[in-house]
Structure 1
Amino acid sequence: MTAAPGPLDRWYEQAGVRGGVRRIFHAEAEQGHVFFPEALVPHLSHPEVRALPAPRIRELTIRHLYQFLYSTTHLETRVVNGAAEPVANGRTGLDFPAELREDAFKVYCDEGYHALYSLDLAHQTAAVTRIPVPAVDYGGFVTALQSAGRQLLPDEPMLAGQLQAVVFETLITAVLNEVPQDPTVISTVRELMRDHAKDEGRHHRFFSAFFLQLWARLDRPQRIAAARALPAMIRAALDWDLTPVGVSLRLAGLSDEQTRTVLEDCYGESAGARRIQTVSRATVRLFAQADIFELPGAADAFAAHGLHEPEQADA
């Protein structure tokens, strides 16, 4: 029987790093284009923000683009490549097929390129708009996620890293799906997001298949520990990184008190919970395929983080 084609079988022909072009920013903003869709920037709808002058709101969208691009560089190099490299080099302690190890190297190449062109576009945008990139830590969410992994799986640091990558790479990213279709957004941003989305669609399929192979190689105690840790990893992966947002709001002219109000209203628990349930649906379905919810304590752990088995979530 012929094996079904894998998501990276045509990597040499399809990968952006193999045949893509450098996206060059042009000053289309003068023609009324935006740097980021307002619907995807939660704080832009807040009354305190809407009361700001138009130039300050424009700066907020530019800084939100910076946050997305810089966060991408941290995610791709520290989380995804941090997991792909041990698989590619056979350092996980698990026996994966040679084909999967080669695919992990392909992912590694892709993600390094995504980080490079994200940083490149941020620097181009800053040069053209003369709005500097704030000097803040855009990788705080990765540091928090890795800290959570160490706490959740203290005896399995390698496994924690693999699961973090699976979580990130199987989450549905509204930005990559929606921005390329929005004609109001600067074309360079749309093109870069479209490039990224093409690769990430293949990565989603790779990490979904990788997870099932990984899960099959774990013993029962490892599976139980992992199942109880995964919902917290999902939450950690999807919690907003508010430090750059707060800095951006203050640079736009909001006081500390106004900034705290905006962050609470736009990124508080209720707003975050709804977003997490929606974005994580495909990831939770993947875990259900591996019968994670049948393991002791797993269903309770997911429920404690506002996540449920697919049948319950879709009811």
Structure 2
Amino acid sequence: MKSPFDGWYEKAGVRTDPRRVIRDEMATGRTLFPEALIPYLHHPLVRELEPDRRFGLVARHFYQYMQFTMHFETSVVNRAAARIADGTSGLRLPGAARLDAYRIYCDEAYHALYSLDIVEQVRDATAIDVPAYDFAPFLGRLDGIGEEVLPGEPVLVQLLQVVVFETLVTSILKDVPKDPSVIDTIREVVRDHAEDEGRHHAYFAAFFRELWQGMSPALRERAARCLPELVGRSLTPDLVPVRASLRAAGLGEAAVREIVADCHAPGLLRENVRNSARHTFHLFESVGVMDVPGARDAFTTAGLL
């Protein structure tokens, strides 16, 4: 595995980036999150809301994204990174690859730290409360895939989870830093995250090749049939905080149901999953996942190809 972490001590965000601090930016009238990336914000029922209520929706969407990031980095990525680093992943990896996994562990812990830091800063700057966020149901759905589709392989499921997530290319890390409508501090935080994630993407793409080659043909077939469900669940948005935010904006239950149904229709969700996972699918193709009997049919049935 060729290391993408050469120069990590000089380049990694945890080693070099300053703490990003909001100062007087809220007075500029700019926003906290690109409005084009909030699916329900332009729904007719939401456009009718007063500006302060719409801004509250943006703030809560920002909180949700940052809190998801915080929990995901520590509960999913670092769970797998620790296994790779301490030698309990099931793969015999050279020491250099295990050291890189610990570098990822450090990166992700720092991402979690500054995600919570910026949430606290925005709360203080806007006086908009941060809703409680429960990550356990999402993690339960991810881990449940193993129990349903790949029973008896909980460690492999954890490794596949991190491969899927760390090879996705979502619009948030790519688009937020370039959006001048967003306050600079948030753009800088997301840019810092994106720079580290580029190295993580390269690492886990190489790791997956090692992981796949180390599986028996029978296990490859089982894993290949697990991957469509894993990709789909990984990218399906958690609508519980969305509904709660819409209610907090003063919308009634009928309006909330209509907005969610319109903006998160199954066809739209599948299209978003396909777009975000295209690099992951290319990785699967390149290592031979799609050549396993039944794999391509499983991805097609799931609406991912």
TM-score tier (shorter)? over 0.9
Separation in 1 of the partners of 2:172 and 2:139? Answer: 19
- The one-letter code sitting in structure 2 at the alignment partner of 1:160 is V
- The one-letter code sitting in structure 1 at the alignment partner of 2:186 is V
Whether contact under 8 Å (2:41, 2:54) holds in the other structure is yes
Separation in 2 of the partners of 1:157 and 1:146? Answer: 8
- The one-letter code sitting in structure 2 at the alignment partner of 1:105 is Y
Shift of 1:260: 0.9
Whether contact under 8 Å (1:140, 1:241) holds in the other structure is no
Whether contact under 8 Å (1:56, 1:252) holds in the other structure is yes
Unaligned stretches of 5+ residues in structure 2: none
Whether contact under 8 Å (1:137, 1:244) holds in the other structure is no
Shift of 1:184: 1.1
Shift of 1:154: 1.3
Whether contact under 8 Å (1:71, 1:138) holds in the other structure is yes
Aligned length: 305
Q: 1:175 aligned to 164, 172, 177, which one?
A: 172
Separation in 1 of the partners of 2:30 and 2:112? Answer: 24
Determine whether 1:284 maps to 2:290: no
| Correspondences of 1:166-315 after superposition (within 5 Å) | 166-308=163-305
Shift of 1:139: 5.0
Determine whether 1:81 maps to 2:68: no
Q: CA RMSD in A?
A: 1.2
Q: 1:24 aligned to 8, 21, 24, which one?
A: 21
Q: Secondary structure at the match of 2:91?
A: coil
Determine whether 1:42 maps to 2:39: yes
Q: Secondary structure at the match of 2:40?
A: helix
- The one-letter code sitting in structure 2 at the alignment partner of 1:30 is A
Unaligned stretches of 5+ residues in structure 1: 309-315
Shift of 1:11: 0.8
Separation in 2 of the partners of 1:237 and 1:62? Answer: 23
Whether contact under 8 Å (2:45, 2:255) holds in the other structure is yes
Give percent identity, aligned residues only: 47
Whether contact under 8 Å (2:3, 2:97) holds in the other structure is no
Q: 1:153 aligned to 135, 150, 155, which one?
A: 150
- The one-letter code sitting in structure 2 at the alignment partner of 1:109 is C
Determine whether 1:105 maps to 2:87: no
Q: Secondary structure at the match of 2:244?
A: helix
Q: Secondary structure at the match of 2:240?
A: helix
Separation in 2 of the partners of 1:11 and 1:34? Answer: 33
